[in-house]
Chains A and B, each alone.
Chain A
Amino acid sequence: MDGLKETAGTFWRTCSEYVHPPPPIREQVPLEDAQFKAEREARVQAQIQLSYERAMARLSEMIDRNASKPAHISSLRVLGANKTRPGFLQAVLEPHLAAAQDPEATFATVLNSIQAAAEKLERFDIFHGVSVDLDTAARDPHGLAALIHVREKSRWKANSGTEMAQHDQSAYARFTLRNICGGAELLEGQFSYGTVTRNAFEVRLESPVNASPDTKVEVAGWNSSTDKKLWAGHEEVSRGGAVRLRHADPTPGSGMHELGWMGVWRTNTGMTETAPHSIRANAGDSVKSAIYHTYIRKTFDHPLLPTSGTYLRLYNEIAGASLGPLGLGLGLGGDTHFLKSEIHSRVVTPLHLPTSTTLSLSLRAGGLWGLRGITRPNDRFFLGGPSDVRGFAFNALGPRENNYSLGGDIYLASGLAIATQIPYLPTWPARLHTFLNAGSLSPIDQTKPLGAQVREVVGRGSVAVGVGVVCAVRGVARVEVNLGVPVVTRGGERAVKGVQVGLGVEML
């Protein structure tokens, strides 16, 4: 038991040494001898680094030696979580303590359990710092009393910022209330105002399910007005609510699932004078009640300029369908009925050539099937733009009339790019790339055979090539300046010859 106490004490002392290093030794040196001083500083720093490495080596050796010594947790206390519900904390920590309370448990098991418990508490995003103390238990041989110190984050937070996306730059103000009922619930309200999303207000309430930080249930409501006059000739007002269930596995390489229901009241209004009949005919209100599922998995090594990794996004939605044949009358409601499916994928691999060359291949496809024969432009796909199929104007591919886009029901977009470091500037967050983008967007005529229409979409598309420079503005977005030409186009589409600037996060 004494050995255990000594081990525990040394363990935490060494950790604290690592966190708070002893101050370096300083001597009086003549001020004019700056270089001598710098060299001496460097030597002192090297010595400190060496002593850290030795301390870590001692630590891991100590843990290895004592790992199989019997130990178990006899009590666990959490200090500093005044606003958090005790029942919630218990539900969070209990699964991790089950192994550590076993009489057969070892020191290694105890350490791992405590480590996992502390990391799980941090993932709730309601605590600033989680630190753990171990001490011997009073009347229990081989027993350890664990003490978790937490500092809670402030209850409310208000911040503002800007969001940048192609053709939609907006400013937002957000108000967040954390941990409102003591169980890591989150209430957030956001106002935004921008060039395309004219004004939007969204409120959401999120709560962990079963005291797990990886599974959350969310209820949201929004009211937004989007100005689509530039490419679609009208404005869209959207009011609705959603209930979502989200699950994200913390192990790297696994994806995020989201399953939800949304009910939206959309109004196409504010028609321009030159809008053609095909857009005017869809003016008015429509109600969509839909169930959807999203799966996203990203394994890039850099969020904006990856050199290796994959990205996959799958989206499926069913709106308004009635359940059962014979018109049993059970359905999701609303007057919009469709099946929608979409896939976005991208693979980036390093080519083993000098100057960090990478090859990026992306593929996007989507289909919309109207269950009552026709589809609405609110639900259709739009294609084209500097962050989408480069070399074409924003949303300018596919069916168009009077210079306005009507959207399509099936699309295929692909991109092939080779990116390298910029010569003589290897450390800049920018790359030089050569791209080939292709896209095709078509409506589906349900009275004609589907196979021929799909073959037409796959075989006949618009293609553009070009070169450009991609920069990553840290944490915000990717900025591209491209010089491109269209190689193949379809009648009515607007291509851009020459310089095109793109801004976005997810790009083809």
Chain B
Amino acid sequence: MPAEVQQPQWQIWSVPKPMAQLFDKFPLVEHPAALLPATPNTPKHADQPTLYIYSTAIDSSAHSPSFDAECLKWQTALLLAGLPFNAVSSNRHASPTFTLPFLNEPLSGPLVYSSGILKWIQENPSANLAAYLDEKTQADATAFTSLIESKIHNAWIYTCFLEPKNYQAVALPWYTKATAWPVNLWIGRQIREEKRAEIEAKRTVNGEEIYADAAAAFAAIAAALGDDEWFFASREPTLLDATLFTYTHLILSSPLVQDGIRQIVRTHGNLVQHAKRVYDRCYRK
């Protein structure tokens, strides 16, 4: 890229012609650009969009699942849609809106935040994320999605952040691994208080009630799934499958110490099989 030249700040009068001609001769010599310093987490494929997620992966492979619910959901959706992308490990300071995930298209400007990723997938002609079959299915899917995003989401947040032993064993190492002592303790505490406030905004923080609501939600979802491979007997996975997978995968595969919620999920064999199916499709290379 050639050197850019800034015009003089005040153009009260225009530069006289002989002087402009003289200025045009400069710079006399131009060397090639300086090399860039080494950067951690460089995306491997520079021509593909990059999804910034919470992850423990050290490479930019899209096939390492994130440990954060929102990030895992959109990562799974993109993988199910068959779109190639890089997934780099990041933190929320990288995002102008202070939340992850977000998608950075390689050569064009605006960033796509999590609320806009679905639209971005739908507008992409090479995406094949299955749509819902009809309007009734659409309505059911919306209902189940809101059930998952409220009851099961609260149960996951509670078990991961607000159960003390789980916080020490799971949440703190995941979210603050890249931060040195003693700052990691402060950051961890800050994230935990935010998650508590997130639950408190909608309901009281009571472990038993949260788990009871989640158990009921899981029962309803397991009943809706039945013996089908994907929801609503669809032939291809839909966004609802990705949403459910997010929480069942995190609950089943995290090293939880207080794992009451895991027992709840295990009672529904079809949910466990469903999670395994999505995992094999997306994350097993």
Binding site for B on A (CB under 8 A): 265, 267-274, 277-278, 280-287, 333-335, 373-375, 377, 380, 393, 398-401, 403, 406-409, 441-443, 445, 460, 462, 485-499, 501
Contacts and interface: CB of A to CB of B under 8 A. Distances in A.
12 contacts: A268-B93, A271-B96, A273-B111, A283-B94, A284-B178, A284-B179, A287-B181, A399-B35, A442-B34, A489-B30, A496-B6, A497-B23
A48 to B, nearest CB: 54
A490 B30 contact: yes
B180 A488 contact: no
A442 B26 CA distance: 23
B3 A486 contact: yes
Contacts of B187: 285
B281 to A, nearest CB: 28
Contacts of B104: 277, 280
A287 B178 CA distance: 11
A498 B23 contact: yes
Given A273-B96, A443-B36, A497-B8, 5 more contacts: A399-B34, A460-B31, A491-B3, A494-B4, A494-B6
Nearest to B10: A499
A284 B93 contact: yes
A335 B5 CA distance: 38
B28 interface: yes
A485 B30 contact: no
B38 A491 contact: no
Given A280-B94, A333-B181, A486 B26 contact: yes
Interface in B24-82: 26-43, 50, 52
B39 A278 contact: yes
Interface residues of B, number: 51
Given A494-B6, A499-B8, A499-B9, A286 B180 contact: yes
B179 A287 contact: yes
Interface of B: 1-10, 15, 23, 26-43, 50, 52, 88, 90-91, 93-96, 98, 104, 109-111, 178-183, 187
Nearest to A265: B183
Contact of B3 (A268, A287, A409, A494): A494
Given A487-B28, A496-B6, A408 B111 contact: no
Contacts of A488: 27-31
Contacts of B8: 496-499
A490 B35 contact: no
Contacts of B42: 277, 281
Contacts of B36: 278, 399, 401, 406, 443
A283 B9 contact: no
Contact of B1 (A273, A277, A406, A491): A491
Contacts of B15: 498
B119 to A, nearest CB: 18
Contacts of A373: 38
Contacts of B50: 277
A442 B34 CA distance: 6
Contacts of B39: 277-278, 281-282, 374
Given A281-B90, A285-B187, A499-B8, A409 B37 contact: yes
